[in-house]
Amino acid sequence: MRKFFSVEDVINVYDLLKEALFLKKNPYEFKHVGKNKTIGLVFFNPSLRTRISCQKAAFNLGCNTWVLDIHKDSWKIEMNDGSVMKMTQEHLKEAISVMSIYCDILAVRIFPNLSNQDFDYKEVIFNKILEYSRIPVVNMESATLHPLQSLADVMTIAEFTSFFKKRCKVVLSWTPHINPLPHSVANSFSQWISKIDEIDFTIACPKKYNLHNKFSNGVFITHNQNEAFMNADFIYAKNWSSYLDYGKILCTSSDWMITVNKMKLTNRAKFMHCLPVRRNVVVEDAVLDSEDSIVLQQAENRIYASQIIFLKILESLS
Ligand code: CP
């Protein structure tokens, strides 16, 4: 694997899941592979899980890491080409090129601006990063995708279904939020879930919250959350801002919050969320704290999702 931007960089998702689950049981099996290798983790936006799980994954592979929080630790970065840089000190071009000299894999997080749909959905910035880097790049959440999260999510569903032994129903449910959030977790989850034949997948969202066709093509979409929850085995809660009315909040109704009563409509579904989550805005305490909540298993699997991707890339370097 020479880069990891999306599920399209994966040859076989089932095989990748099996390998990630093997790493979870045998985390230090490939400790030798990362000897004398360095992974650089670059954050243009905040993170708790992604940052620490990637560091732990690198440690398990015997790799060194460095972490750069651009807004706290670095110069102000210019993103535009041809700018007269009176307000910014360093161009993305030099920043990425230089950082890629200081490591063997460069992992980057950079969120969308949510104001220019075309710019975000063409992944203009991440494509520049891919162009400027001299080494393999890993997507730790870009304008439209969060593939390491989705790999961990699908891995978690695999664990709770004895590796998809029987068909299951998974619902991605939009939930309320006070801020306009990116679409990356929802887009990516939809893309990855669609690769698993044994999953019946439904997206429940208010009108005008449909995801871009590119990521939800062929998926059953309903605007009736209760109907979607009927017989569901997994409820994945996530807010996203509107794609159609780009980046806007069009619905604030707490009717879409995940509650104990809604979970009663399901087939005793497991509750999923990528975290961080706003309690009693997105989901009731009683659901998040219930034994059917598997958010911590998802967070744990972030380690092995990152680890298998780093391992694949490290193996391709030698
Ligand atoms: N789920 C996730 O990506 O968490 P962080 O934003 O804390 O990394």
140: nearest Cα among 56, 66, 54, 70: 54
| Structural domain boundaries in the chain | 7-146+302-317, 161-293
Atom of ligand 1 nearest to the CA of 46: 6
Q: What is the pLDDT of residue 182?
A: 98
Nearest ligand 1 atom to the CA of 53 is: 8
Are 7-146+302-317 and 161-293 in the same CATH fold? yes
**What was the pLDDT predicted at 266?**
98
pLDDT classification of 86: cutoffs 50, 70, 90: very high
Tokens of 100: 């890629």
Residue by residue, DSSP assigns 268-294 as: SPEEE--S---BTTTB-HHHHTSTTB-
Give CA–CA dist 244/30, Å, rounded. 45
Pocket-testing residue among 42, 44, 45, 47, ligand 1, by greatest number of atoms within 8 A of Cβ:
47
pLDDT tens column, 225-249: 999 999 999 999 999 999 999 999 9
Pocket test for ligand 1, best of 41, 44, 45, 48 (most atoms within 8 A of CB): 48
Ligand 1 pocket (Cβ < 6 Å) reads 47-50, 149, 274-276
CB hemisphere CA count around 217 (13 angstroms):
4
| Tens digits of residue pLDDT in 244-300 | 999 999 999 999 999 999 999 999 999 999 999 999 999 999 999 999 999 999 999
Single out the residue of 3, 102, 61, 127 nearest to residue 53, CA to CA: 61
Best of 110, 141, 236 for a ligand 1 pocket test (most atoms within 8 Å of beta carbon): 141
Ligand 1 atom at minimum distance from 45 CA: 6
SS3 category, 312: helix
Q: Which fold has domain 7-146+302-317?
A: Rossmann fold (3.40.50)
Query: Ligand 1, atom 3: nearest CA belongs to which residue?
Result: 50
Whether residue 104 contacts residue 37, with contact meaning beta carbons closer than 8 Å, is answered with: yes
What is the chain's length?
318
Class level of CATH domain 161-293: alpha beta
Q: What is the pLDDT of residues 114-169, one digit of tens each?
A: 999 999 999 999 999 999 999 999 999 999 999 999 999 999 999 999 999 999 99
Q: What's the pLDDT band for 2 if we cut at 50, 70, 90?
A: confident
Nearest CA to ligand 1 atom 6: 47
The rounded mean pLDDT for the chain is 97
Q: Report the predicted TM-score, pTM, of the whole model to 2 decimal places.
A: 0.98
